Amino acid sequence: MAQASKKAFPLRLDPALHAAVERAAATDLRSVNAEIECLLREALARRGVKLSEPARPRRGRPPKEEGEEG
């Protein structure tokens, strides 16, 4: 399964800020990375910056191929 390309870069955060993001991520059942991405999207939306919807991975079983039984 091919994953959407994402830009990776180092991010230095104040330890207290990181701890707060970790708590928020745990509450939302997300990784810290996903929580930061969500927070950034929300902040940009409040500023009126329009972004395309993120490419979400497909969940569940892949569709059956033609001729497959089961």
DSSP state letters, 21-46: HHHHHHHTT--HHHHHHHHHHHHHHH
Check residue 56 and give its pLDDT. Answer: 73
Check residue 1 and give its pLDDT. Answer: 44
Residue 53, SS3?
coil
Give residue 60's region: left, alpha or beta (phi > 0; psi -120 to 50). left
Condensed to tens digits (0 to 9), the pLDDT of residues 10-59 reads: 999 999 999 999 999 999 999 999 999 999 999 999 999 998 877 777 77
Domain ranges of the chain: 15-46
Against a cut of 0.95, is the pTM above it? Answer: no
